[in-house]
């Protein structure tokens, strides 16, 4: 038994699962919004002034990319690295578009591309873990086109 499954055993590789990518993006944005809600609660409930959130925003976005990539790859059941990378990259590009729209002069294009690529790699790591998680039920896309 191999540690990493690239695709289902005995079946052709197939295509990317669009529904799984969408589910991974929903997970990524959900994790990021939960982190933002926790930071908002911290500001409201803290007895002292709170000023710096850069590290927490970075940690929330990386956690969103990793867990979104894992959810996407687990739902797809195949191509874990690719599904996770695309989920993380799309998540990163959307966050970078929001950053650029908010303050276009303060970020360089190379810096934004590097951040989006880093979130893509984080999503790929999550996708590698997600496709190899033991599941009690078959993945949603496992038997749809291959006659299971």
Instruction: Give me the residue spans of the domains in the chain.
Output: 54-135
pLDDT at 87 exceeding the cut of 90: yes
- How far is residue 16 CA from its own chain's centroid? 15
For the stretch 41-78, pLDDT in tens is 988 888 888 788 888 888 999 999 999 999 998 888 87
**92: CB partners within 8 A, 6+ apart:** 61, 65, 115, 116, 117, 118, 119, 120, 123
Identify the pLDDT of residue 143.
Answer: 54
Report the C-alpha gap between 30 and 33 in whole angstroms.
5
How buried is 26 (Cβ within 10 angstroms: 0-12 exposed, 13-18 middle, 19+ buried)? middle
């Amino acid at each position: 038994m191999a540690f990493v499954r690239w695709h289902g055993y005995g079946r052709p590789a197939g295509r990317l699962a669009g529904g799984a990518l969408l589910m991974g993006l929903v997970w990524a944005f959900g994790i990021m919004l939960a982190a933002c809600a926790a930071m908002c609660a911290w500001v409201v409930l803290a007895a002292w002034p709170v000023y710096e959130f850069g590290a927490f925003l970075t940690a929330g976005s990386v956690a969103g990319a990793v867990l979104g990539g894992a959810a996407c790859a687990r739902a797809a059941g195949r191509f874990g690295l690719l599904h996770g990378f695309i989920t993380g990259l799309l998540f990163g590009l959307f966050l970078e578009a929001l950053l650029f729209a908010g303050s276009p002069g303060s970020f360089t294009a190379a810096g934004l591309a590097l951040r989006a690529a880093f979130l893509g790699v984080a999503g790929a790591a999550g996708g590698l873990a997600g496709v190899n998680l033991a599941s009690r039920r078959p993945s949603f896309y496992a038997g749809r086109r291959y006659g299971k």
